[in-house]
């Protein structure tokens, strides 16, 4: 009697061993070689000043000594710009929400009017996402002048691509039966969107907008470096004056606000989604 090999456990996927041909091995080697060549070329094309790189550890120690201890008396001076930063992020997120819902409706294949509106919406999404918020801030600072208005619009426009894309994906996953039920009553297109589409996608909208607000708190701390209002202006001023003990206080304040916004964002998503 011959011994039989044990049968695989039910539901267990059997391993399939593949023997690579010589052509497969050459192709894999060519891909790896090309990757290495690209990395080497990219590294060689950088204009690196190695004396500065080698001196970097000493500079880190020197900067750390200047930043410690923090100038806690400066804390009262950063409260107004820190509040302004939060307001910029909040108003920018609200602006993005108002603009993103129509764009998302045009970008979703099951709610867009035609291919023209679909491609218009996709161009808006790609344009918003492809340009950094600092560039948007520079553009709107030139239009509205330096200050929080430029920051609000920059944050709002930069957020359209992110929120519209995720909301559009949520719209494409809704239950078509509810939409058809509303349409069967003879409702207009606008009423179908209001009563058949938006109620189903509202949890997605709330979750995406809340998450984006959390991101915008971080971004609003940076756009002030180019004159778009908020704590970034104060940070840039302290760095230009080499007040590194004040820079430490600003960085701590930004860290605390970002952590608080992340906690609030998480609580809101749990509450409404």
Measure CA 93 to chain center: 12
Q: Fold for domain 74-272?
A: MetI-like fold (1.10.3720)
- In the chain (273 residues long), the average pLDDT of successive 10-residue segments reads 50 59 83 92 80 78 82 85 90 92 89 88 90 88 87 92 90 84 83 85 87 88 81 85 87 88 81 68
Give pLDDT, residue 1: 44
Pull the structure tokens for residue 185.
């009553």
The domain limits of the chain are 74-272
Give pLDDT, residue 124: 92
21, 86, 165, 253 from 83: Cα distances, Å: 64, 5, 29, 11
């Amino acid at each position: 009697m011959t011994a039989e090999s044990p049968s695989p456990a039910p539901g267990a996927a059997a391993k399939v061993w593949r023997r690579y041909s010589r052509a497969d091995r050459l192709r894999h080697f060519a891909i790896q070689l090309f990757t290495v060549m690209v990395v080497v070329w990219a590294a060689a094309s950088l204009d690196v000043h190695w004396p500065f790189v080698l001196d970097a550890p000493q500079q880190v120690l020197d900067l750390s000594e200047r930043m410690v201890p923090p100038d806690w008396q400066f804390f009262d001076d950063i409260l107004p710009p820190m509040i302004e930063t939060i307001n910029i992020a909040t108003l920018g997120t609200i602006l993005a929400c108002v603009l993103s819902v129509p764009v998302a409706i045009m970008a979703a294949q099951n709610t867009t009017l035609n291919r023209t509106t679909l491609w218009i919406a996709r161009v808006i999404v790609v344009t918003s996402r492809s340009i950094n918020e600092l560039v948007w801030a520079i553009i709107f600072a030139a239009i509205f002048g330096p200050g929080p208005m430029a920051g609000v619009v920059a944050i709002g426009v930069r957020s359209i691509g992110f929120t519209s894309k995720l909301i559009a994906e949520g719209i494409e996953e809704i239950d078509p039966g509810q939409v058809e039920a509303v349409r069967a009553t003879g409702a207009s297109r606008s009423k179908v969107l209001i009563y058949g589409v938006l109620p189903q996608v509202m949890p997605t909208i709330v979750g995406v907008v809340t998450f984006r607000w959390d991101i915008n708190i971080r971004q609003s701390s940076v756009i002030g470096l180019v004159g778009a209002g908020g704590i970034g202006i104060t940070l840039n001023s302290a760095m230009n004056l080499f007040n590194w003990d004040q820079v430490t206080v600003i960085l701590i304040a930004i860290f605390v606000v970002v952590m608080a916004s992340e906690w609030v964002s998480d609580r809101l998503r749990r509450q409404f989604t």
